[in-house]
Structure 1
Amino acid sequence: MSFFKNLLSNSVIINPSIISIEDISNNTIIDANTALTIGAFYQGVNSISNTIASLPFKVFQNKEIQKKNPIHYIIKEKSNDLQTAFEFFNTMIFIMFLKGNSFAKIVRGITGDVEQLIIINYSTVEPIIFNNRLYFKFDKGESIPNEDLIHFKNIGTGFLGIDPISNFRKNIEINLNATSYTNQVYTGEASSIKGSITYDKALNDQQRDRLRNELSTKFSGKNGKKILFLEDGMKLDNINLSPEQTKFLESRQFEKSEVASMLNVPPFIVGDYSTTYSNIELQNLHFYKQTLLPIITKIESELKHKLFTKDEILDGFYVKANVEAVLRGDSKSRAEYYKELFYLGSITPKEIRDKEDLPTEYNGEAYIHSNLIPLGISGEFWTGKVNKDLAKAELDESKT
C-alpha cells in the first residue's frame, strides 16, 4: 500500500466549511471577493496587513541583532525570488484574514539552510495527522509536513484558524444588502411603488389595460424612457424614499462598527470616528494592543520555531518585530521619549539611531550636554566630588 493510502486510511481529516446551503438558497455567494466590496471590511483588512508588513522583523541572538544571519535577510529584505519581505508579510496576513489561514512553503537548500519562503495559493486545505505527525493537504493534492510550512492562523482551537468570512457570512450579507439598498435609494428603486397616476375620470377596462401595458413595456427598468406623455387630465405623482426616511446614514455607521468588531480593530481603523482620541499616540496604542500585538506575537513564535532548530533556539536565537513605528507617534513625542530614556541611562545614542533607522556612523561631529558623564565612571565621579567637597569643608573649617 502506498504512502498516501496509508496516510488517508490512518488519518484524522478535518474539513473546513466552504459554503453553506443557506448561501445557495439565497443565491448570494459570500466569499472573499464579495466581502472586499464592503468598504469598511477592505479598509480594516488592508490597514492590519499593511501595518504589520511595514514592521521590520529581525533576527536576534541574546538581544543582539544578527544582520549577517541568512534568515534575517529573508524575513527583513527579500523572502523569495519574486517578493520582498513587505510583499510576503502583506500577502500572508491578507490571506489569513480572508481564509482564516495562510501558508508558505519553507524551501531549504542541500545543507538544510532556509533559502526561500514561497506562499501557497490554495482553495481548500485539510489537516491530517499520520503517525503523530501533522500534515496539511492542499486542493492541488500536495501534502506538506507542518514543520516545512510557515502557517499564519487566525483565532481557533484546532489545526486551522477560523475563516472570518464564513463565520460572519450573515453579518457580511446584511452589510452587502444595506449597500445595495442604499444604491436603490439614490436611484429611486428602493420603493416597490414608483409612483401613481391620478385621473379625474373613470377608465374602462380597455383604457386601464392599455395604460398599464404602456408603462410596463416602455417606461419601466433602467432603460425605460424618461419622458411620459399623459392624456388629458392625468397627473403623475412620483414616490421615492429619501435617505432621511430610510435612515441609511445610521445603517452605514452601524456597518462600520460591526466590521470593526468582526476584525477586532478600533473603530477609527474602518473610518468610524465617533470615538475620539486626544492624540495620535493613543490611537496607535489602542490599535497596537487590541489588534496588532496578538498577531505579531503569533508571527514571531511561528517564525522562530519553524526557521530555527531547537539547538539554535536554546542558544538564544529568536525573531522580533520592531514596533516602534506604531508606538512612537509624532516626532516631538518621540524626542521627549528618547530624551527621558537617555537621561535615565536606559538607552544610548546608538540605540536611538537604530530605532529611528538612522546610520550607525555620524555625519559630522555629535554633541551632548556637558554635564553628562558615562554610566561606568559615575560612581568614581561622585566619590571624587564628595571627597573634594569634604576636603574643601575641612580646609574652610581650619581657617576659622
Structure 2
Amino acid sequence: MNWISRLFSWSPPDAHPRASVQSSGGGVVITTPQQLEDALRAGAVSGSGEIVNAHTAMSVAAVYACVRIISGAVATLPLHIKRRVDERTREDASDTDLWRVLRRKPNRWQKPAQFRRMMQAHVLLRGNAYAMIVWSRDKVQELIPLHPDRVQVKQKDDLGLEYIWTRKDGRRVVFGQADILHLYGLTLDGIGGVTPITYARESIGLALSMERHGAIVFKNGATASGVLKVDKQLTPQARENLRESLEEYRAGGSREGKALVLEEGLDYKEISMTAEDAQWIEARKFSRSDIAMFFGVPPSMMGDNSGNDSNWGTGLEQKSNGFRTYCLEDHLTMWEEGVTCDLIRDDDTLYAKFNRAAMAQADIKTRNAAYVQALQWGWMSPNEIRALEDMNPRDGGDIFYPPPNTAGKSEQEKPDDDPQPA
C-alpha cells in the first residue's frame, strides 16, 4: 500500500471520540467566529431573509446558468502542454506525463473534462479550488481534488503557504505549497480567492425570495390575500367550515375560475398587492441581469433575451467574442498560470496553453473566406488549415504560398546561375 492509499484509507474512530469528529459525509472547517455564526445559521442570511450559500445559490436559475456556461467553456476548450524549442518555435509536448494527466486521466475516477468543470465550479462558488499533486520523481502522476470547505490555507513566516486538509474522520493533514494545485481568481489577501456569491448575496437572496413568493402565489391559485368582514360573530364551527371551504377553493382543480359564494353576510376585501402590481416579472428580469453582471456573463447567453446587449455586440459571434475577452480570459489565464507554476518542476521550456481558437469558430462561409486569405498571403499552409478542420494532412500540403502582390523574389530566392550583364 503506497502513501496515497494510506492517506485516504479508513481508520476506526478513537475509543473516546472528540467533539470535533463529524459524522460520515464531511462538513465545513470552522476557523473564525464569522464562519461559526454562518454554520449555526446554516449559511449567510441576506437582507431578504434568505440563506445564501453555494448550495442555495445554485437553485437560482441565473447562478446555475453562469456557473454552467463558464465551467463548461473551461472544460471543453483544449488545454495543451507546449514546449518552447527556441525563440520562434513551439511544439506540442504530448510525450510528457503532465500531458497524459491533463488530457487523458487526471486521477483514478475522473475524466479530464469532469475534473476541470468541477474545479472551475469550485472557484466560482467558493473562490478556491484545490487538488493534491501526486508526485513521482518530479513527475505528476495524479491530481486528487480536495473540497474547498475542508481546506484551510495559511502563510508561514517564510512567506510560503501550507494547506491544512480535514478528512471526513476529523484527522488533519498538512500539505506544503509544492503538493497542492491551488486555483483562485480575484483575491484580497494574496493567498485565497473570493467568490461572487459573497458579494452578490443580496442579489441572490432577492432572487430566492422572489422565486419563493411566486411559488406560493401560484400554489394558492394565483389569488391575493384578503380579509373577510362580517357584522356578527361566527361560532367556532362556522369559522372552521369557512376555513375549509376557502382552502378547498384556493387549491384550484375543478373549482379553478369559478365564483366564490360567501354566506352569513360575509364581505371580501383585498389587502395585498398582486404580482402584477408589484411588477414581479420585471423584478425577476432585473435580478437575472444583476447576477449576470457579477459573473461577467452576457444575459442573452443564459437565456435572458429581454435586455439589450449592445455593449457586447449585436450578433452571436460578437457576443461570444465579448464573453471570451472580458469574462473567460480571466479564468483561462488562471488555469494556464496554475498548471505552469504548480505542476512543472524540472523543465522551464514547458508551459500550459488553451486553444482559444476552438471557441471562436465562425460559420463555414466565414471560415472558408478566412482560410483563402491565409493561403493567399502565405501565413498558413494547407495542412495547418486541414488540422483546424480536424482533417488529416495531405502530401505536399506543408508549403507556404508567396503573397500575390510581391514585386519579385528576394535576394535569397534568386538562383545562383543568373546570367551576368555583358
**Structure-2 separation of matches of 1:189 and 1:80:** 51
Which residue pairs with 2:180 in the alignment? 149
124 and 333 in structure 1: CA distance in 2 versus 1, 3 angstrom threshold: same
Which residue pairs with 2:232 in the alignment? 204
Amino acid corresponding to residue 143 of structure 1 in structure 2: V
2:143 aligned counterpart, secondary structure: strand
- Contact kept, 8 Å, 1:108 with 1:116, in 2: the verdict is yes
1:205 aligned counterpart, secondary structure: coil
Which residue pairs with 2:156 in the alignment? 130
Which residue pairs with 2:241 in the alignment? 214
Higher helix share: 1
1:123 aligned counterpart, secondary structure: helix
**Structure-2 separation of matches of 1:103 and 1:369:** 45
Which residue pairs with 1:353 in the alignment? 386
285 and 24 in structure 1: CA distance in 2 versus 1, 3 angstrom threshold: closer
Give the CA deviation at 1:25. Answer: 10
1:156 aligned counterpart, secondary structure: coil
Matched, 1:120 2:146: yes
245 and 175 in structure 1: CA distance in 2 versus 1, 3 angstrom threshold: same
**Structure-2 separation of matches of 1:161 and 1:41:** 18
Matched, 1:83 2:107: no
**Structure-2 separation of matches of 1:119 and 1:83:** 10
Which residue pairs with 1:269 in the alignment? 301
Q: TM-score, normalised by structure 1?
A: 0.78
**Identity value in percent:** 23
Which residue pairs with 1:4 in the alignment? none
The Cα offsets for residues 291-327 of structure 1, whole Å up to 9 and x where unpaired, read as: 1111101110110011112x512xx211100011222
Amino acid corresponding to residue 352 of structure 1 in structure 2: I
Q: TM-score, normalised by structure 2?
A: 0.74
In the alignment, structure 2 segments of 5+ residues that lack a partner are: 1-29, 85-89
Amino acid corresponding to residue 124 of structure 2 in structure 1: F
Matched, 1:72 2:104: no
Matched, 1:169 2:201: yes
295 and 224 in structure 1: CA distance in 2 versus 1, 3 angstrom threshold: closer
For residue 281 of structure 1, the aligned residue among 307, 310, 317 is: 317
For residue 323 of structure 1, the aligned residue among 356, 359, 362 is: 356
**Structure-2 separation of matches of 1:146 and 1:50:** 28
Matched, 1:183 2:215: yes
**Structure-2 separation of matches of 1:25 and 1:40:** 19
26 and 86 in structure 1: CA distance in 2 versus 1, 3 angstrom threshold: same
Give the CA deviation at 1:91. Answer: 0.8
Greater shift in the superposed pair: 177-186 or 297-306: 177-186
Give the CA deviation at 1:379. Answer: 3.0
For residue 295 of structure 1, the aligned residue among 322, 326, 331 is: 331
Amino acid corresponding to residue 379 of structure 2 in structure 1: S
Larger CA Rg, structure 1 vs 2:
1
Q: CA RMSD in A?
A: 3.8
The Cα offsets for residues 378-399 of structure 1, whole Å up to 9 and x where unpaired, read as: 5379857xx89xx9xxxxxxxx
The Cα offsets for residues 311-355 of structure 1, whole Å up to 9 and x where unpaired, read as: 512xx2111000112222222222222322232222222322333
1:79 aligned counterpart, secondary structure: coil
92 and 206 in structure 1: CA distance in 2 versus 1, 3 angstrom threshold: closer
- Contact kept, 8 Å, 1:285 with 1:326, in 2: the verdict is no
Which residue pairs with 1:343 in the alignment? 376
Give the CA deviation at 1:195. Answer: 5.8
2:359 aligned counterpart, secondary structure: helix
**Structure-2 separation of matches of 1:54 and 1:358:** 19
Aligned residues: 364
Give the CA deviation at 1:122. Answer: 4.2
Which residue pairs with 2:11 in the alignment? none
Amino acid corresponding to residue 297 of structure 1 in structure 2: T
Which residue pairs with 2:67 in the alignment? 45
Give the CA deviation at 1:168. Answer: 2.1
Give the CA deviation at 1:162. Answer: 0.6
- Contact kept, 8 Å, 1:266 with 1:290, in 2: the verdict is no
